[in-house]
Amino acid sequence: MTVVRFQNVSRVYTVGDHEQRALSGVDLELEKGKMIVILGPSGAGKSTLLNLLGGLDSPTEGTVVVDGQDISRLNRDELADYRAAKVGFVFQSYNLIPTLTVRENVDLVREIAPRALDTAEMLAAVGLADHMKKFPAELSGGEQQRVSIARALAKNPEILLCDEPTGALDSETGSAVLKVLLTMARTYGKTIVVVTHNQSIARIADVVVRVKNGTVRSVEKVASPLPVEEVEW
Amino acid sequence: MRKKLLRTMGRYRAQFLSMIVMIAIGIGVFVGFNVEWYTIERDTASFFEKTGFADFRVLSETGFSEEDRRAVEALDGVSAAARWLSVNTMVKDDADVLALTVTEDPAVSGFLVTSGGAYDAADAGGFWLSDRYAEANGIAVGDGLTLTYKGLEIAGTVRGLIKAGEYLICLPDETQLMPDYTAYGFVYAAPSLLERVLGRAFYTQINALSGLDKTAFSERVDEALGRTMLVLSKDDVVSYAEAMGESEEGKTMGGILPVLFLGIAVLTMVTTMHRLTASEKTQIGTLKALGFRDGRITRHYVSYALTVGLTGTALGLLLGWLLGWYLMNPGGPMGTYLDMDDWSLHAPPFVWIVLAAVNGFLLLVGLWSVRAMLKGTAADSLRPYVPQKVRSLLLERTRLWDRLSFGTKWNLRDSLRHKARSGMTLFGIVGCTVLLVGALGMKDTADAFIRLFYDEAIRYESRVNLDAASVSAADAAELSERYDGDRLAQSSVQVDGAFVGVEVYGLRSGLVRFVDTDSNFIELSDDGVYLCRRIAEAHGLEPGDTLRFSPFGSDKSYTARVAGTVRSMTESVVMTEACAERIGYPYVTNVIYTAETEIEADARIVNVQTRQSVLDSFDTFMQIMDLMVVLLAVAAVVLGIVVLYNLGVMNYTERYREMAALKVIGFRDRRIGRLLISQNLWMTVLGVAVGIPAGIGVLQCLLNALAAEYEMALSLGWATFTVSTLLTFGVSLLVGWMVAGKNRKIDMVEALKVPE
């Protein structure tokens, strides 16, 4: 079942007199419940793809339909509501609120997400039940990323969007984080879209989308993805 | 590096502008009030010197002979002495009063001619009239003028228009706050005119120029004249005392208000410079890595402080000079009070030292800020600035914490994490409230003062001044009977060597009432005397104590029980006629207060002063008061907006990533805006709660320092509290709304790319 559909999507940025085409005529369909990895070198347009999908940005041309809803023409408030209800974000730099504890960081999505899941359950699921009262600065990078995953999933979104989720982590911690991410997504039946330039991560994906120079070069279904434990980088 | 300086200033323009504005306001207020008092001191001193303002006045109601004058002039330490007379006369066919003044020596207590003919001692038909009175009444050089005094008519021609040091502040008595040249002025005449009218030379004062102190001068005069004389030093004369009082008030204002503004300016600078260098820490690291020496980088960042300091100082000097000029020009607030020839502005030398010190301090602030970021290696500097670690609050251990919304928790922790920023915000709000409460409270207090004294305590329509030298007790009784009035006998006595007035009242019609220190009306008891608050405080006297006083020119002394304390504009001891008779104190009625407005001409009556003329003189006073209220309220709003906007932008910048994260999670712009505004509102609640009592305290200090002579009682209406609170919240909401509107522009993608 298709959950995401990009139709002839372009994104052009204007910097002074100069136009920069980040995406050009992208057509892409992603299936529900899959682990999708978008691969590409720096500047290929993969983050732009993710930002459009996440409602952080709007296309210059074309439409983006998520779960039957065209999000490319939504206004600011509608986009905010879309982000609150439909997508969860996991960033390379975690982006936790430093003045809120672990529990409060996850709890805050309850203020906006209509179908939020239980905070304690989410934190227990990512193995941080004992760290709920700590502040982000008191946690390791891997732990902070796990809080970020718990926060993203606590909204109970349709899609989990991850931008270089292991980019700031060492191999071992990154592997642990990916495992949590996959386990959680599969437990709660979520579609995961991971953007990375790390080829190794593509080996655990159900679908690999290769992007270069603002266009989708290939969409490859992986017949038998490797378990996370077997992947190294 | 110069381009970087300009670009960085452009990027942080809100912060730089607010620092410059705060420093300019702080220095402007500091320079303005200091220019005011120093100009008063310098220009009045020069005016007094030019007009031969007397250092001492020897008084005698029976007059002085030429021998007496020579004896005083011959005293060691006296450079000149002149016989002098000043009597209040009425302008014929008019209610105006002119103080007719004659000096035997124009070099002593004389005047400056501003237009018309020079003074001629032999001119028996000439008047030299106050130019301000002439202007207010449309009188020109060459016009005829007829004065009446005790039934005598004194006619002459206006030869010249003048200003005189003795009438620098031209008030008929202490009950009037401001000069009113439409109704009261002064006129000089030559001794020959006096002799023509009186048929003899009659002078009640010898005015002297002398560098002696009052005690030494008094002792030598008593010895030379062979009797105890009433001597007034220049400190006892309204013109000098009030001018110096104004100067002191300027010093106080120049001390209190600038401290508030400069304090906020310097604290804003400390906070902002630290934040600025912290946010540029990686750039500092880059410069180090590129090979720039610490000294060069330090000079670059210190140049921000220098630019801010010098620009703020230049603007502040301009503002201060304008404020000084506004206060000290013939058409300005002081021009309605002081009447002098030269209004050149002067700044006290220490102003330049303070300005240099402020700039030096700002440089140190810049130095301190960049030094903290330069510590360690280039690699250390390249690591982004990490703000203070978040710590758990005590409140988190209570159940209340769990009930708080995410926004409250977020704001509370942020406020405590960034204590300097929160403290400054609070300081700005407190300052705004203090100024508003002070300004509006000052108006309330002045209104209450005038209402109490001039609407409620005073019920007469006319004050009839009698000639004490020729009015008998029977005359006074007859006149008070005729006009159904209350009687007053004024005299001067010494209490512990200090010169104070005595007022003996014959109250029969209830036209004059007295107010105790709690502002309640009281009936004077015949059992003792009442002291005004200043005398009671100065001599440490309380009800039940005994007061001892002695009249000038007499060896006798009188004792009386202190029955109570009253609020009075005149520094005097108040008693009833029955009390005076009981203690044996002699008195001669010289004033009748009456509800009548038509007073028949009578040789025993010197002049008549209407209540309306006193009330009219308040118009100018109240206009100045209203202006001060507006100025202070504007200053409060500017202060609030500048400080809060600067800190609001700082708050916004520091929480940019957090707000971007909230937006990504799905928080709407308006919701995030409300979170920012709510932090401001919490600070405002706290700031107003502290600011209101602090404002009352500051107002009380200002009243003690500036208006002790009026014995005003602090009086603040609910409207003051309501308006101050609403305006402070209004400023806070406005700034909160301005800053909150910025979050629409947050670029989520860019914001979240930056590494933590």
Question: Alpha carbon of A68 to those of A1, A32, A158: distances in Å?
Answer: 11, 12, 12
In total, chain A counts a number of residues equal to: 233
pLDDT on residue B337 = 87
Query: What distance in Å separates residue B385's CA from the closest CA in chain A?
Result: 14
Contact state of A80 with B658 under an 8 Å Cβ cutoff: no
User: Measuring CA to CA, how many Å separate B439 from each of B24, B178, B431, B712?
Assistant: 21, 20, 12, 15
Distance, CA of A193 to CA of A208 (rounded, Å)? 10
% of chain B with per-residue pLDDT over 90: 37
Architecture of the CATH domain A32-60+73-230: 3-Layer(aba) Sandwich (3.40)
Q: Which of B434, B424, B443, B442 is nearest to B636 (CA)?
A: B434
Using a CB-CB cut-off of 8 Å, the residues of chain B touching A56 are 664, 748-749
Distance CA B35, CA B351 (A): 9
User: Dihedral through CA B615, CA B619, CA B620, CA B622, nearest 10?
Assistant: 110
Tell me the range of A167-176, B476-485, B684-693 where mean pLDDT is highest.
B684-693
Distance, in angstroms, between A223 CA and closest chain B CA? 33
- The two three-digit tokens of residue B304, written as one number: 């921000």
Q: Which of B405, B654, B665, B670 to mutate to test the interface with A (most CBs of A within 10 A)?
A: B665
pTM of the model: 0.75
Instruction: Name the band, by pLDDT with cuts 50, 70 and 90, for residue B175.
Output: low
pLDDT, tens digit (0-9, with 9 covering 90-100), for B676-705: 899 889 999 999 999 999 999 988 888 877
- Which of B485, B450, B445 lies closest to B464 in space, CA to CA? B485
Please give the pLDDT value at position B709: 67
DSSP for B196-220, written as a single string:
HHHSS---SEEEEEE-S-HHHHHHH
* Residue ranges per structural domain of chain A: 32-60+73-230
* DSSP helix, strand, coil percent of chain B (3-state; round to 5): 55, 20, 25
Q: What is the mean pLDDT of residues B348-375?
A: 88
Phi-psi group of B585: left, alpha or beta (phi > 0 → left; psi -120 to 50 → alpha; rest → beta): beta
Span B426-473, pLDDT tens digits: 988 998 999 899 889 988 998 888 888 878 888 899 989 887 777 888
Selected residue of A48, A49, A57, A97 to mutate for chain B interface (largest B Cβ count, 10 A): A97
Summary mean pLDDT of chain A = 88
Q: What are B704-737's pLDDT values in tens digits?
A: 776 666 777 888 899 999 999 999 999 999 999 9
| Chain A contact present for B659, CB below 8 A | no
Cβ–Cβ of A109/B666 closer than 8 Å? yes
Q: Does B749 contact A47 at a Cβ distance shorter than 8 Å?
A: yes
Nearest to B665 among A112, A137, A168 (CB): A112
CA angle (B197 as vertex; B193, B202 as ends), nearest 5:
80
> CB of B528 within 8 A of CB of B541?
no
DSSP for B289-307?
Answer: HHT--HHHHHHHHHHHHHH
Averaged over B106-122, what is the pLDDT? 93
Per-residue pLDDT at A80 exceeds 60: yes
Checking if the pLDDT of B4 tops 80, the result is no
pLDDT of residue B624: 75
Q: Chain B partners of A54 at a C-beta cutoff of 8 Å?
A: 664
Residue B147 has what pLDDT?
92
* pLDDT of B497 strictly over 90: no
Residue B542 has pLDDT above 80, yes or no: yes
pLDDT at B107 over 60: yes
Q: Residue B88: how many CB atoms within 10 A of its CB?
A: 18
The whole-number average pLDDT for the span A187-211 is: 89
Residues B127-154, mean pLDDT to the nearest whole number:
91
Name the residue facing B665 among A77, A83, A104 (closest C-beta). Answer: A83
Token reading at A115: 């179908």
The rounded distance, in Å, linking the Cα atoms of B680 and B678 is 5
The whole-chain average pLDDT of chain B stands at: 86
Region B120-146 average pLDDT: 93
Which residues of chain B make contact with A77, given a CB cutoff of 8 A? 668-670
Pick the more confident residue, B713 or A159.
Answer: A159
Asked if B438 and B695 count as a contact pair (C-beta separation under 8 A), the reply is yes
Q: What is the number of alpha carbons within 13 Å of residue B598 lying toward its C-beta?
A: 0
pLDDT bin (cut points 50, 70, 90) of residue B754 is: very low
Query: Is there a contact between B665 and A100 if contact means CB atoms under 8 Å apart?
Result: no
> Does B657 sit within 8 Å of A151, measured CB to CB?
no
Range scoring the smallest mean pLDDT among B2-6, B453-457, B512-516: B2-6
- Using the Cβ of B453 and the Cβ atoms of chain A, whether some distance falls under 8 Å is answered with no
d(CA B724, CA B731): 11
Structure confidence by residue, pLDDT tens digits, B549-590: 988 666 788 999 999 999 887 788 999 999 999 999 999 899
Give the distance from residue B401's alpha carbon to the nearest chain A alpha carbon, in angstroms: 11
Q: What percent of chain A has pLDDT over 70?
A: 100
Q: Which residues of B touch A20 (CB under 8 A)?
A: none
Q: What is the mean pLDDT of residues B485-494?
A: 90
DSSP state of B151: T
Contact criterion met (CB < 8 Å) for B666 and A81: yes
Stronger pLDDT, B375 or B529, i.e. the higher one: B529
On chain B, the residues whose CB falls within 8 A of the CB of A47 are: 749
Asked if B70 is an interface residue toward chain A (Cβ–Cβ < 8 A), one would say no
Helix (H) or strand (E) holding A82: helix A76-86
Neighbours of B638 (CB within 10 A): 17
CB pairs under 8 A between A and B: 88
Quick check: B24 pLDDT over 50?
A: yes
Q: Within an 8 Å CB–CB cutoff, is residue B190 touching chain A? A: no
Could you tell me if B676 lies within 8 Å of chain A, comparing CB atoms?
A: no
User: Which of A167-171, B13-17, B743-747 is predicted with the least confidence, judged by mean pLDDT?
Assistant: A167-171
Tokens standing for A206? 């159900």
Using the predicted structure, report yes or no on whether residue B253 has a pLDDT greater than 80: no
CA distance B512 to B521: 11
Is the confidence at residue B756, as pLDDT, over 50?
no
Q: Which two tokens stand for residue B70?
A: 């020579």
Distance from CA of B286 to the nearest CA of A (A): 22
Burial of A12 (0-12, 13-18, 19+ CB in 10 A): middle
Structure tokens at A142: 């891997």
Interface test with B, best of A20, A47, A99 (most B CBs within 10 A): A99
Collapse the DSSP code of B473 into the 3-class scheme (helix H, G, I; strand E, B; otherwise coil) and give the result.
helix
Strand B605-610 with B462-466, pairing: antiparallel
Which residues in B lie closer than 8 A to residue A97 (C-beta atoms)? 410, 658, 661-662
Does B665 sit within 8 Å of A84, measured CB to CB? Answer: yes
Q: What is the mean pLDDT of residues B335-364?
A: 92
Question: By three-state DSSP, how is residue B452 classified?
Answer: helix
pLDDT over 60 (residue B58)? yes
Q: Average pLDDT of A164-192?
A: 81
More confident site: B352 or A223: B352
Which residue(s) pair with B184 in the sheet? B97
Q: What is the pLDDT of residue A2?
A: 87
The count of C-alpha atoms lying within 13 angstroms of the C-alpha of A68, restricted to the half-sphere facing its C-beta, is 1
Distance from CA of A157 to the nearest CA of B (A): 11
pLDDT for B387: 64
**Record: contact A151-B665, CB cut-off 8 A:** yes
Name A113's Cβ contacts closer than 8 Å, sequence gap at least 6: A84, A85, A154, A155, A156, A157, B666
Q: Work out the average pLDDT over A201-227.
A: 90
Question: Chain B residue with minimal CA distance to A95?
Answer: B661
Instruction: Please identify which residue in the block is written with the tokens 């400069």.
Output: B262
Out of A20-24, B50-54, B495-499, least confident range: B495-499
CA distance B444 to B720: 8
CB-based contact B663 A111, cutoff 8 Å? no
Read off the pLDDT band of A113 (50, 70, 90).
confident
User: pLDDT tens digits for B606-630?
Assistant: 778 888 777 776 777 777 778 878 8
Which chain A residues are within 8 Å of B670, Cβ to Cβ? 77
* Closest partner CB to A109 (pick from B658, B660, B665): B665
A109 contact residues in B (CB cutoff 8 A):
665-666
Distance from CA of A155 to the nearest CA of B (A): 9
B619, with CB counted inside 10 A (0-12, 13-18, 19+), is exposed
DSSP B522-537: EPPPTTSEEEEHHHHH
DSSP codes joined into one string, B495-550: ETTEEEEEEEEE-SS--B-EEETTS-EEPPPTTSEEEEHHHHHHHT--TTSEEEEE
